[in-house]
Amino acid sequence: MANDSIVQAGSGDDEVVLVLSNAPDMQLAKRIAHMLVEEYLAACVNLGAPCLSMYMWQGTLEGTEEIPLLMKTTRGRLPALTKRFRQLHPYEVPELLVLPVTGGLHSYIQWVRDQTRQQQ
């Protein structure tokens, strides 16, 4: 079946990408995920188990519990996703890393593209 084959994740605006981030608590993580999916900026947002993030901030070692976020979207939706994410996230410098997807199940790649198309 063609939809069960592994395909490249595309190129240009329809290229599927993963966006990594964290939220300071589960309530905000759920709100961010809800808004990004409802606004068709992400096809899916996975919320991970709370984890401890260790980092230097303004010369001080910080240890903060955060909720990992894994967002699936397309390169074409990144500008709008980034803008909305910045509106929703309280950190001065939130983590936002974009990772390329080199391939995936054809039906899933297509689903991500379909879910992130701007709705009329």
DSSP letter string, the chain: -GGGSEE---SGGG-EEEEEEEESSHHHHHHHHHHHHHTTS-SEEEE---EEEEEEETTEEEEEEEEEEEEEEEGGGHHHHHHHHHHH---SS---EEEE---EEHHHHHHHHHHTSPP-
Instruction: Give per-residue pLDDT as tens, 15-64.
Output: 999 999 999 999 999 999 999 999 999 999 999 999 999 999 999 999 99
Task: With 0.75 as the threshold, say if the pTM is over it.
Answer: yes
Please enumerate in sequence order all residues whose Cβ is within 8 A of that of 2, keeping only pairs 6 or more positions apart, or say none: 106
Q: Which CATH architecture has domain 2-115?
A: 2-Layer Sandwich (3.30)
pLDDT at 63: 96
Confidence of residue 82 (pLDDT cuts 50, 70, 90): very high
pLDDT at 118: 72
Nearest to 49 by CA among 63, 64, 67, 32: 67
CA 41 to CA 88: how far, in whole Å? 13
User: What is the average per-residue pLDDT within 100-114?
Assistant: 94
